[in-house]
Structure 1
């Protein structure tokens, strides 16, 4: 029986393998556009966190999505901001070539994608009004604090990292619900491994309290979700 009592960092997702099937990887990245609106919960985070802040600036803003994958979350947020009449440049970055390729097909005015990582952006002198990520934290091990610190250095405002919250119920429901969407992709195998690699809210809070020099606030904004919120230092 699969144990979910502790985070399993030894598991590796198939799509993280540089030698994985590229056809299946592209299909997975594209299909995230159907899956993430249901499970990622960014509409609520946008309404409660990003919208009030971006509105308060009273000027055009820049928002960065770190590890944007296929770019669907970045594009979704760009749509929401446009409907609200905000002037925002959305930038999605990912160091994985195929992810960048797929994300780039979503490019349009005020929405662009860059083949880069956080360290590269920082070295290039890039700075943003807010930084976000979706489903990145569970991929990381001991390098999570460094990733969070880099994200803070890139932002002059809020830093919001959203991810899955590990639980038996999340695992069981995902295993059933994802099956119709899984053929030809890594969605089922990698999704279940993602849940097993993910943090609970308590685990994540304790880790960041121990490892981060400035306070981070961990909340559960929706079912099976954790949100790490920290201050920008740019």
Structure 2
């Protein structure tokens, strides 16, 4: 089955003035999708790979999750690190205080801030994760976000996103009814898939923006991950 052309549509909840209760309901649907379709597992697996390089002894590992939603991914990463004998300090970042507050119970810290201008010094956070966020931006803004992440990350950056295909659209549409998604979550979710990436697209976007080589991998559930280290920029 051929890959659809990447769409440029606007999702309902991309509107910063979207209803707060509806936004929270959608975040619950996203967390459910992450659990059942592999989004959480895919990102945590890449974080686990980066942790193999950790040489900080007993020092806590810091992780910043951009667009953290309900904080399900940093919470899962912290549990995984704990099983490896590491302490992980997680920071969830959202665009609005109300959304950051929703993540606060699952993250060590949560804050509302502009992801395009991260309030952190260069090389101040060990690992940065971005799950199902990048596709919301056009190329110029996506590049700026990737550059900011690369500036702040010390160990590596992990992107998890959707792998674009008609089969993924059909699967999300049908399963959204079984999982009880809100109609807005269904609409935005299907559009998100059509705004997702192929492997060459994601690799090219990251390498153009950051100058770093990115390892890009297909994952189950029509997911795609990319991971890179700021220490290994291309010449």
Contact 2:7-2:195 at 8 Å conserved across structures: yes
| Contact 2:127/2:155, CA 8 A, preserved across alignment | yes
State how far apart, in whole Å, the 2-side matches of 1:4 and 1:166 are. 7
Q: For residue 115 of structure 1, what is the aligned residue in structure 2?
A: 112
**2:214 and 2:49 mapped to 1: Cα distance?**
20
Unaligned runs of 5+ in 2: none
Tell me the distance in 2 between the aligned counterparts of 1:183 and 1:66. Answer: 23
Match of 1:51 in 2: 48
Residue number in structure 1 paired with 2:100: 100
- Work out whether 1:6 is the aligned partner of 2:2: no
Check 1:230–1:34 CA distance in 2 against 1; reply closer, same or farther (3 A cut): same
Q: CA deviation at 1:133?
A: 1.0
150, 156, 172: which one aligns with 1:174: 172
| Residue 41 (structure 2) pairs with residue 39 (structure 1) | no
**Residues 184, 221 of structure 1: alpha-carbon distance in 2 compared, 3 angstrom cutoff:** closer
Relative distance call for 1:130 and 1:91 in structure 2 (3 A) is same
In structure 1, how many angstroms separate the alpha carbons of the residues matched to 2:126 and 2:183? 35
Aligned to 2:65: 65
Structure 1: how far apart are the matches of 2:92 and 2:197?
Answer: 24
* 1:105-157 C-alpha deviation (Å, 9 max, x unpaired): 434xxx221112342323x6671111111001101112111111110111111
SS at match of 1:86: coil
Matches within 5 A, 1:156-175: 156-175=154-173
Per the alignment, in what secondary structure is the counterpart of residue 82 of structure 2? Answer: helix
CA RMSD of aligned residues (A): 2.5
Partner in structure 1 of residue 87 of structure 2: 87
Change (3 A) 1:183 1:158: closer
The Cα of 1:229 is off from its aligned counterpart by 1.6
CA distance in 1: counterparts of 2:184 and 2:136, whole angstroms: 15
Aligned: 1:76 with 2:76: yes
Q: Could you tell me how far apart the structure 2 residues matched to 1:15 and 1:98 are?
A: 14
Residues 203, 51 of structure 1: alpha-carbon distance in 2 compared, 3 angstrom cutoff: closer
Which residue of structure 2 lines up, in the alignment, with residue 29 of structure 1?
27
1:218 aligns with 2:216: yes
How big is the shift at 1:83? Answer: 3.4
Q: Check whether the contact 2:3–2:166 (CA below 8 A) recurs between aligned residues.
A: yes
Structure 1 unaligned blocks of 5 or more: none
Question: 2:119 aligns to what SS in structure 1?
Answer: helix
Contact 1:171-1:195 within 8 A present in 2 as well: yes
The number of equivalent residue pairs is 226
Partner of 1:129: 126
Secondary structure at the counterpart of residue 86 of structure 2: coil
CA distance in 2, matches of 1:102, 1:42: 18
Question: 1:182 & 1:98 partners in 2: Cα distance?
Answer: 24
Deviation at 1:212, TM superposition (A): 3.7
Q: What is the TM-score when the length of structure 2 is the normalising length?
A: 0.85
